[in-house]
């Protein structure tokens, strides 16, 4: 194997990135070196590329290699790695937990008190190779194509939001509203359809993404710039509202609307991150409804990964309509522009190594 590799790195505190040649990292104790097959771009990567206010406050050091949604082949294993062998094909769980805090020891490692994120706090995957903790390398079984494996991490966000911390029993035979149909919202449309939702309502202002939601199985498409989504959901459900609302947009107004379209006793999963304060009618739309509002972050380690594997490997959910573009790593500027255009689903970068 080569001694050096190309890596897309954030080298300066300004917009953009640089493709540079750096040494291939060595796996330490309990770690594996993965030869990257594909790495997809997400909103976090756009923030880092643009070097917006969030990235300026969040990124701990420069230079750093970013990118975290990745799948590839185990090239080398470090000491004390016993369950993986070179050649294994894996996808990465990107939440790196400490394993010893109270949250980890209570079985909730995905919200670890000392959480680190691949491609944010540790060098990431827009490169020929990436080092992962061995426990974060999920071996991908048969039935999941390599490119699809590279989006298992964000797909898992949709799975976690759909199931919530319960078993997802409230999905079957009920109406579900998905607010915001970026890639994770589109995944959620397909997931809730596969889990037996009676009606899946997709709420999205972007024409391209609404049509993608149709491809993923949405029954009703709502453009919130032209239609009142609360009225549309209530009409579609005979006035009862959606038993489950999956809020993926982070838009403060949409979050408020989500509580208003939610059925009494219903569940609202909140994955989208608002950039300003959110005002809610807690009395009528939450408390008197006995609504359950639940924050969602990452994936439950590793229950969500098992659910994700089952949904993808059995063909219950086909994510290929969401994977819309593939670029070699050298064309990263075009790839990031495509991701930001609003006319793409998941954009995948493919290293040459």
Tens digit of each residue's pLDDT (9 = 90 or more) over 143-168: 999 999 999 999 999 999 999 988 88
Spot the catalytic one: 37, 47, 95, 325.
Answer: 47
Instruction: Give the tens place of pLDDT for each residue, 61-90.
Output: 999 999 999 999 999 999 999 999 999 999
Per-residue pLDDT at 275: 87
* Coil, helix or strand at residue 129: strand
| pLDDT value of position 171 | 94
Partnered with residue 1 across adjacent β-strands are: none
Number of neighbouring beta carbons within 10 Å of residue 47: 18
Q: Residue 243: is its pLDDT beyond 90? A: yes
Residue 228: pLDDT above 70?
Answer: yes
pLDDT at 352 exceeding the cut of 90? no
Count how many residues are written for the chain.
353
Q: What is the pTM of this model?
A: 0.96
Q: Is 325 labeled as catalytic in the residue annotation?
A: no
Catalytic residue among 4, 11, 37, 44: 44
CATH number of the domain at 156-295, please?
A: 3.40.50.720
Most distant CA pair in the chain: distance in Å? 64
Banded model confidence at residue 200, pLDDT cuts 50, 70, 90: very high
Output Rg (C-alpha) for the chain, integer angstroms: 20
| Mean pLDDT across 110-123 | 97
Q: At what angle do helices 303-313 and 152-163 cross, to 10 degrees?
A: 110
pLDDT band at 134 (very low <50, low <70, confident <90, very high): very high
In the CATH scheme, what is the code of domain 4-151+322-350?
A: 3.90.180.10
Percent of the chain with pLDDT over 90: 97
Q: Is the pLDDT of residue 353 over 80?
A: no
Half-sphere exposure of 191 (CA within 13 A, CB side): 31
Per-residue pLDDT of 265-294, as tens digits, reads 999 999 999 988 999 999 999 999 999 999
| Helices of type H across the chain | 43-50, 53-58, 102-105, 146-149, 152-163, 183-194, 207-215, 229-236, 252-261, 282, 303-313, 332-340
**What distance in Å separates the CA atoms of residue 201 and residue 126, rounded to the nearest whole number?**
35
Q: Provide, rounded to the nearest whole percent, the portion of the chain with pLDDT above 70.
A: 100
Confidence band, pLDDT 50/70/90 cuts, at residue 1: confident
Q: Is 76 helix (H, G, I), strand (E, B) or coil?
A: strand
Q: Domain ranges in the chain?
A: 4-151+322-350, 156-295
Q: Is 314 a catalytic residue?
A: no
pLDDT digits (tens, 9 = 90+) for 11-45: 999 999 999 999 999 999 999 999 999 999 999 99
């Amino acid at each position: 194997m080569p001694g050096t590799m190309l890596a897309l790195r954030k080298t300066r505190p300004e917009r953009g990135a640089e493709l540079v040649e750096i040494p291939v990292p060595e796996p330490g104790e309990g770690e594996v070196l993965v030869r990257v097959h594909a790495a997809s771009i997400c909103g976090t990567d756009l923030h880092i590329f643009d070097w917006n206010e969030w990235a300026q406050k969040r990124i701990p050091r420069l230079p750093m290699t970013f990118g975290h949604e990745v799948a590839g082949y185990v090239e080398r294993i470090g000491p004390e790695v016993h369950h993986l062998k070179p050649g294994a094909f894996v996808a990465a769980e990107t939440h790196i937990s400490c394993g010893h805090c109270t949250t980890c020891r209570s079985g909730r490692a995905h919200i670890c008190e000392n959480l680190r994120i691949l491609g944010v706090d540790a060098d990431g995957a827009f490169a020929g190779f990436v080092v992962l903790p061995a426990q974060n390398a999920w071996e991908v079984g048969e039935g999941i194509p390599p490119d699809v494996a590279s989006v298992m991490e964000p797909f898992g966000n949709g799975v976690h939001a759909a199931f919530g911390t319960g078993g997802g029993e409230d999905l079957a035979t009920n109406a579900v509203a998905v607010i915001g149909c970026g890639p994770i919202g589109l995944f959620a449309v397909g997931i809730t359809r596969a889990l037996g939702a009676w009606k899946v309502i997709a709420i999205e202002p972007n024409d391209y993404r609404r049509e993608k939601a149709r491809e993923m199985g949405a029954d009703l498409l709502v453009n919130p710039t032209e239609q009142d989504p609360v009225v549309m959901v209530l009409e579609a459900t005979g006035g009862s509202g959606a038993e489950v609302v999956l809020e993926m947009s982070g838009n403060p107004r949409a979050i408020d609307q989500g509580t208003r379209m939610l059925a009494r006793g219903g569940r609202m999963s909140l994955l989208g991150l608002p950039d300003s304060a959110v005002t809610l009618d807690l009395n009528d739309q939450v408390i008197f409804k006995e609504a359950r509002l639940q924050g969602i972050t990452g994936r439950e380690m590793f229950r969500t990964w098992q659910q994700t594997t089952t949904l993808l490997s059995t063909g219950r959910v086909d994510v290929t309509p969401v994977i819309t573009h593939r670029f070699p790593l050298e064309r990263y500027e075009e790839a990031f522009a495509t991701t930001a255009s609003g006319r793409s689903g998941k954009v995948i970068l493919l290293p040459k190594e």
